[in-house]
Chains A and B, each alone.
Chain A
Amino acid sequence: MNSELIPLMVVFPLISAIILNVLHGKDKAVRYYGTLAMLVIIAIPLLTVYGNHLFGAHSEISTSPQTGIQIPVIDLAIEYTFSFLQRVLVIILAVIATFAVLIHSGEKKASGSYLSMIMLSIAAVSAVVMANDIFNMFVFLEIAAISQAAIIITMGRPDAYKAAFKYLMYGGVAGASILIGIALLLGTFGVLNITDLHNAMAGQMSNPIVLTAIGLLLIGWLFESGLFPFHTIKSNLYSSAKPDVGALLQTETKIVLIAISIVLIRLFGGFSNMSAVMLGLSLITLVFGGIMALVQKDFRRLVAFAAVSQAGLVGLSMGLGTEAGVSAGIFHAVNDALAMSLIFITIYVLYDRAKTTEFSKLGGLLTKAPTLAFLQIIGILAVSGIPPFNAYQSEYRIIDAAFSSGYPELGVIVILGTILTFVALMKGFYLTFLKENVTITAKDRIFMTNKIPRATMLALVILVIVCIGIGVYPSPFYDRISDAAMLIVGGW
C-alpha cells in the first residue's frame, strides 16, 4: 500500500526550486511564492501517513504468472520509509528553512536563485532521511553538497568562493568514497535496499571486501557530518554563509549525520572497529572544535566551530552503538539544531546591523540592543545544556549512555567539552555585548538599534518556546525517539 504523499516531500521542493529560478528578478513573485512554498513544505510531513513508498518496479513477488520466472523475494524498487523519526527530522528541517526563507524575503532584494538553492537542499536532505535505498541516499547526498556550495556562493565574496571550492573538492572525494563502498557491497551481495543488505550481511563481517566498504562509507560519513578531519571545511562553510542560512546548513548537517549513522548501524551494527573509529573521531571533533572556537577572533567563526563541536557530540553518542546512545544522539541532534539556530539568527541580526562580526570592532552593545542580547543569552544557555532548556535533557542522556556503555572517561570528556562550548560562546557574548571596546575609532563606530524585524522576531520567539517546551516536557518526544532507536539497534 503506497503512501502517496511521501514522494511529495522531495518532489515539491524540487519543483519549487525550478519555479523560483524562473521567477528570479521579480521580487514580489519570489517573496510570495517562497513563503507559500515553505508553508506547503511544512504541511506535507504533518499530513503524511506513516508507511513505505515504492518507486517503480513491483513489490515482493515470488513467481511471475506470465513467464514463470522465479523472482527472489526482494524489493526491486527504490523504497522510501516514513515513520516518527523521519517526520520529526523533516519537520525541523522545514521549520528552520522557513525561518531562513522568511528572513531573506524581508530583506531589500529577494533573490530567486538563492531561494531555489535552499529548496534544492531541503529536497535533498528530506530524501536522504527517508531513503531506504543506499544508492538513492548517495545521489541525494551529492545533490545536497552541490546545493550547499551554491547557497554560500550567492554571498558573492571571495572567501565564500574559496570555502565552496574546498567543500566541493572534498565533497567529490568523499562522494566517490561512498560510491566505491556501495559498489563493493553491490558486487558482493547484489542488492541496494538497506533492509535486504542487512539481511544478506549476516555473518559476513570478516569478509575483507565488506571491511573495505565499511571504511569507505565511514570516510563519506565523516565528510557529510563535518567530523575530523573535515571539521575545518564544514566550519568554513558555516562561517562563509549569511548566518540565517548558516542555521539551515548546520541543521542539515546534523540531520544527515543522523541519517547516515542510522544506515551504518543498521548495516554493520555490532562491528566494534567501526564503533571505535566513530567514537574516536567524534571525540577529536568535540574537543578540537571547542578549542578552535575559543581562539577565534570573529563571532561567526566562533559559532561555526561551536556547531561543529556539537556535531562531534552527536557523532560520539551515535558511535556508542547502544540503544541509549543512539536515542540520546538523535534527541541531541534535534535539540542542538534548534538551539544553535537561535544563536545563528541572533548573529544574523548583529551582522545585518553592524556589517561585521569581528570582536575588535564590536563591544558594549548591551545598552543599544538589550532584546537581542537577551535572546542570544537564552540561545547560549540552551546550547550549553543548562536546565530548563532542551539540550540539558539530551546531554544528560548522552553522559548517562556513555557511562553505562562502559566508557566512563568519555562521559568526563563530554562534560568538559560541553563546558568548553559554553565558555567559548560566553566569551563571544561578553566581547560583543558587555565589554566596552576602547579601541574603536570614530569611523568604525556601529549604529545599532533595538529593532528586530518582524519575521526574525517571530523565528526567535518560536525557537525559544520550542527550546523551553522540549526542555520541560521531553517525554512525549523522547519516548518515541527511543522506540525508533530500539528498532534501529535491534536490526530492523
Chain B
Amino acid sequence: MDKLYDFLSEKLKSLGPVHVGSGISAEYMLLAFFPLAFVALVRGLENVTVSVLAILVTAMVAFSAPLVLKVARENSDHYNVASFYIAIAMGLILMIMIGGLY
C-alpha cells in the first residue's frame, strides 16, 4: 500500500505538495466513474458480457495511473482545447439525434 502511495505521489507532484491527496481522491473517483458510466451506456448486451467489459475498463483506468493530470489538462479553459471538445460534442449530438443512438 505504501509503495502504491509513493508511486502515485511521485507522479502527482506537479500538482503541488498539498494537493497530492485530492489528486488521489480524484483518481479513485475516475476509477469508480468509468465502469459505472460504461454500464449505463451499454444496455443492450447480456449481464455477463457487460460485467467482464466493465472489469476490463476498470483495469484500463487503474493501469494508466495518474489519469487525473490528463483530465485536468483536457478540461482547461484554453480557447483551443475548449474549441476541440465543443466541435466534437456538436458533431456527436447532431449525429445521435439524426442517426439514432443504437
A interface residues, Cβ below 8 angstroms from B? 163, 166, 170, 173, 177, 208, 211-212, 214-216, 218-219, 222, 228-233, 235-236, 272-274, 276-277, 280-281, 283, 287-288, 290-292, 294-295, 297, 359-360, 407, 409-410, 412-413, 416, 420, 423-424, 427, 431, 435
Cβ of B51: which chain A residues have Cβ within 8 Å of it? none
For A166, give its contact among B23, B26, B82, B100 (CB under 8 Å): B82
Interface bits B60-102 vs A (CB < 8 Å: 1, else 0): 0000000010011001110100100110111001101110110
The distance in angstroms between the C-alpha atoms of A235 and B76, with both chains bound, is: 10
Interface bits B6-41 vs A (CB < 8 Å: 1, else 0): 000000000110110111011001101100110111
Cβ of B98: which chain A residues have Cβ within 8 Å of it? 208, 211-212, 215
Interface contact A219-B93, CB-CB below 8 Å: yes
Interface contact B96-A295, CB-CB below 8 Å: no
Interface contact B22-A274, CB-CB below 8 Å: no
Interface CB pairs A-B, < 8 A, 20: A170-B86, A208-B98, A211-B97, A215-B93, A215-B94, A229-B82, A230-B86, A236-B77, A273-B96, A276-B96, A280-B41, A287-B29, A288-B75, A294-B23, A294-B29, A295-B68, A297-B16, A407-B40, A420-B29, A423-B22
For the complex with contacts A292-B75, A420-B25, 8 further pairs of A-B residues with Cβ separation under 8 Å are: A166-B82, A170-B86, A216-B94, A229-B85, A287-B37, A294-B22, A295-B19, A297-B16
Interface contact B76-A232, CB-CB below 8 Å: yes
Closest to B86 in A: A229
Interface contact B82-A273, CB-CB below 8 Å: no
For B79, give its contact among A166, A231, A416, A427 (CB under 8 Å): A166
Interface contact B23-A283, CB-CB below 8 Å: no
For A277, give its contact among B26, B40, B93 (CB under 8 Å): B93
The distance in angstroms between the C-alpha atoms of A173 and B86, with both chains bound, is: 10
Interface contact A273-B97, CB-CB below 8 Å: yes
- Also in contact, A359 and B18, with CB within 8 A (given A229-B86, A281-B89): yes
Cβ of B77: which chain A residues have Cβ within 8 Å of it? 163, 166, 232-233, 235-236
The distance in angstroms between the C-alpha atoms of A424 and B22, with both chains bound, is: 8
Cβ of A274: which chain B residues have Cβ within 8 Å of it? 97
Cβ of B97: which chain A residues have Cβ within 8 Å of it? 211-212, 214-215, 218, 273-274, 277
Interface contact B16-A413, CB-CB below 8 Å: no
Interface of B is mostly: helix
B interface residues, Cβ below 8 angstroms from A? 15-16, 18-19, 21-23, 25-26, 29-30, 32-33, 36-37, 39-41, 68, 71-72, 75-77, 79, 82, 85-86, 88-90, 93-94, 96-98, 100-101
Closest to A435 in B: B18
For B18, give its contact among A212, A409, A431 (CB under 8 Å): A431
B77 to chain A, nearest CB (A): 4
For B90, give its contact among A219, A236, A290, A295 (CB under 8 Å): A219
Cβ of B93: which chain A residues have Cβ within 8 Å of it? 215, 218-219, 277
Cβ of B39: which chain A residues have Cβ within 8 Å of it? 409
Cβ of B85: which chain A residues have Cβ within 8 Å of it? 228-229
Interface contact B37-A295, CB-CB below 8 Å: no
- Also in contact, A288 and B90, with CB within 8 A (given A416-B33, A423-B22, A427-B22): no
Interface contact B94-A212, CB-CB below 8 Å: yes
B63 to chain A, nearest CB (A): 19
Cβ of A424: which chain B residues have Cβ within 8 Å of it? 22
The distance in angstroms between the C-alpha atoms of A360 and B15, with both chains bound, is: 12
Interface contact B33-A287, CB-CB below 8 Å: yes
For A228, give its contact among B19, B33, B89, B101 (CB under 8 Å): B89
Cβ of B32: which chain A residues have Cβ within 8 Å of it? 413, 416
- Also in contact, A410 and B71, with CB within 8 A (given A232-B82, A273-B97, A359-B18): no
Interface contact B33-A413, CB-CB below 8 Å: yes
Cβ of B30: which chain A residues have Cβ within 8 Å of it? 287, 291
Cβ of A291: which chain B residues have Cβ within 8 Å of it? 26, 29-30, 68, 71-72, 75
B1 to chain A, nearest CB (A): 20
Interface contact B79-A276, CB-CB below 8 Å: no
- Also in contact, A423 and B25, with CB within 8 A (given A211-B98, A295-B19): yes
B72 to chain A, nearest CB (A): 5
The distance in angstroms between the C-alpha atoms of A94 and B23, with both chains bound, is: 38
Closest to B54 in A: A409
- Also in contact, A416 and B22, with CB within 8 A (given A212-B97, A232-B82, A410-B40): no
The distance in angstroms between the C-alpha atoms of A435 and B19, with both chains bound, is: 13
B80 to chain A, nearest CB (A): 11
The distance in angstroms between the C-alpha atoms of A79 and B35, with both chains bound, is: 46
Which A-B residue pairs are the 4 nearest by beta carbons? A215-B97, A232-B77, A229-B85, A294-B22
Closest to B41 in A: A280
Cβ of B68: which chain A residues have Cβ within 8 Å of it? 291, 295
- Also in contact, A409 and B36, with CB within 8 A (given A273-B97, A424-B22): yes
Cβ of B76: which chain A residues have Cβ within 8 Å of it? 232
Interface contact A294-B25, CB-CB below 8 Å: yes
The distance in angstroms between the C-alpha atoms of A150 and B89, with both chains bound, is: 27
Interface centre among A283, A294, A416, A420 (most CB of B within 10 A): A294
Interface contact A295-B26, CB-CB below 8 Å: yes
